[in-house]
Structure 1
């Protein structure tokens, strides 16, 4: 169990460190709020989504589900449309931010919706959980080892998101201005549109 936990910890660290849509969003929310715990809805939602994806990957449910053709296509269509929609909203928000002297903090409801979208509909998250974490979990035949492996992966997500939001709050309140926030939003929108294209490739070529 100890080796399985160490394996899960090191693998999760390697997968979660790159700053993608999910991590960038958490950092941005930390910067926007006057107190870092104002971004807790985003942090907890992202962590819970990662917990769900890792759990499904470890027990093999997610991989089995995506082998059902109609379900895979339905999931792909929903994810693509949602990413295109969220990308357009994010692009529009960039103009609103630059027209005001300060950017407004997001409401808990908006944080939850956005965090869930970039966590569950992110092609890279799907690859990481289905292919990498799910594939690595297959090497463990006993459930205690699988459990230790999965818990270690989940723990890294929770710790990392709390670190990111505090880091974003400390550095962002000083460094992030309205012009840079607008640019970040535009980059995020482009990443989401690109992810929608990439998601279509992943879903429809999945074997």
Structure 2
């Protein structure tokens, strides 16, 4: 049980803080007309995190990270995507009824964006490798399996929780105006993240 608790605490420390991935899942909960429409992004983000966790625990991600060009590629994709997502988020509004249906992100966009913010987010990848991957070497056999299961479980539960909270809040009267302000702040956050990534790695 120690390995399981360790995995839960560690995963919560990495997954719960505000980040691009969490913001995207939350905003989908807010903007989608029904809760069922939020599930594709929840499942996609959770699967991506599961893949990263499994790769980290198996040590595969450490091998990949040893190639400098892969890190440069991930950073480049991440910077471009954060800039694009910032632009989309800045211009997104919250409507009602049919107009809400039209303005919400489509299923294909949900899956594509969720994959990108999960797998092409260098900070998330490096956190998974550096923290979960290195912490897992303390365990073997069933203990390592419990540790891995706990990390994955927290990831799935957290994304589902974010979508539920977003969906509940989005239905509150008068939230549409507040949502515009939240989106502006989120967009600035994304652009600053892209600038910081470029400055710290390329300049």
Whether these two folds match at TM > 0.5 is yes
The DSSP-based 3-state class of the residue aligned with 2:171 is: helix
Give the CA RMSD over aligned residues: 2.4
CA distance in 2, matches of 1:84, 1:131: 26
Which residue does the alignment assign to 1:118? 117
- Is 1:68 the counterpart of 2:31? The answer is no
Does the 8 A contact of 1:119 with 1:125 survive in 2? yes
The DSSP-based 3-state class of the residue aligned with 1:13 is: helix
Superposition TM-score, scaled by structure 1 size: 0.83
Q: 1:174, CA displacement in angstroms?
A: 0.4
Q: 1:53, CA displacement in angstroms?
A: 1.1
* Structure 1 runs of 4+ with >6 Å offset: none
Q: 1:22 to 1:4 in 2, by over 3 A?
A: same
For structure 1, list consecutive stretches of 5 or more residues without a partner in the other structure: none
CA distance in 2, matches of 1:171, 1:86: 22
CA distance in 2, matches of 1:44, 1:166: 13
For structure 2, list consecutive stretches of 5 or more residues without a partner in the other structure: none
Which residue does the alignment assign to 1:135? 134
Does the 8 A contact of 2:119 with 2:125 survive in 1? yes
Which residue does the alignment assign to 1:152? 150
CA distance in 2, matches of 1:52, 1:35: 28
CA distance in 2, matches of 1:74, 1:124: 13
What is the number of equivalent residue pairs in this alignment? 199
Corresponding residue to 1:180 among 175, 178, 181: 178
